[in-house]
Amino acid sequence: MDERGLTQLDFVRALNRQYLTKFHQKDVSRWLNTGNRTSSGEIGFPKYETMATIADFFGVDVGYLTGETDEKTYAMSHACAFTGLSSSSIAAVRSWIGTPRAPQKNNHTHDGDPMPKYRAATINRLLSSPKFPELATKLLTLQEMSAIWSNNPQKFEGILGSLANDNDLPDDLALQLLLGAFYGMASESFSALLHDAYPMPE
């Protein structure tokens, strides 16, 4: 509800209007307090039919409401577990491609719209290129150095200081050389990947 900016009253009105139900604000309050203890015992989950209606309203699976999964859908939970990627990363790719939440019959992403297919092919060729692991290795180095700089500035300063001392360079020049080397290697690998994934006449 917070994500949509709905109050309890807003929510119950929208729910009743969309599904022709007859819930009240006190029902919503009880749902939100599921698991809490009262003088009469612990507040349990609503009926499954009710949870299914609420889940459909918010575009999530029932398991998200019950806490069985931290992701909004089981499909997303499985995708995260299979790839090791975050839901935000997967959602970003799906959003750019234009993949609908529910699979369409015959795997037609959007009838009459060829762009989702072309976008998916673009990502597929990028990730399936034999040059991709080389770029990913360079990106891993950048990620490691960025994480050190963000989480352990003293260690980063130590690395920079060692580089400066070993090469008899001032710290600011050593930093420029360090960044130039890392970003330069990643750029070269990215260029090689693009040429391999999307070949054109030279």
**Domains of the chain, residue spans:** 8-66, 87-128, 132-197
CA distance to 36, 43, 46, 52, 60, per residue, from 12 (Å): 21, 19, 14, 15, 17
Please give the residue that has the higher pLDDT: either 177 or 198: 198
pLDDT band at 60 (very low <50, low <70, confident <90, very high): very high
What pLDDT shows up at residue 40? 74
pLDDT band at 143 (very low <50, low <70, confident <90, very high): very high
Which whole number is the average pLDDT over 145-157?
92
What pLDDT shows up at residue 109? 47
In this model, does residue 108 exceed pLDDT 60?
no
CA dihedral 164→170→176→179, nearest 10 degrees, is 20
The pair of structure tokens assigned to 200 is 């054109």
pLDDT band at 101 (very low <50, low <70, confident <90, very high): low
What pLDDT shows up at residue 111? 63
Which whole number is the average pLDDT over 15-33?
91
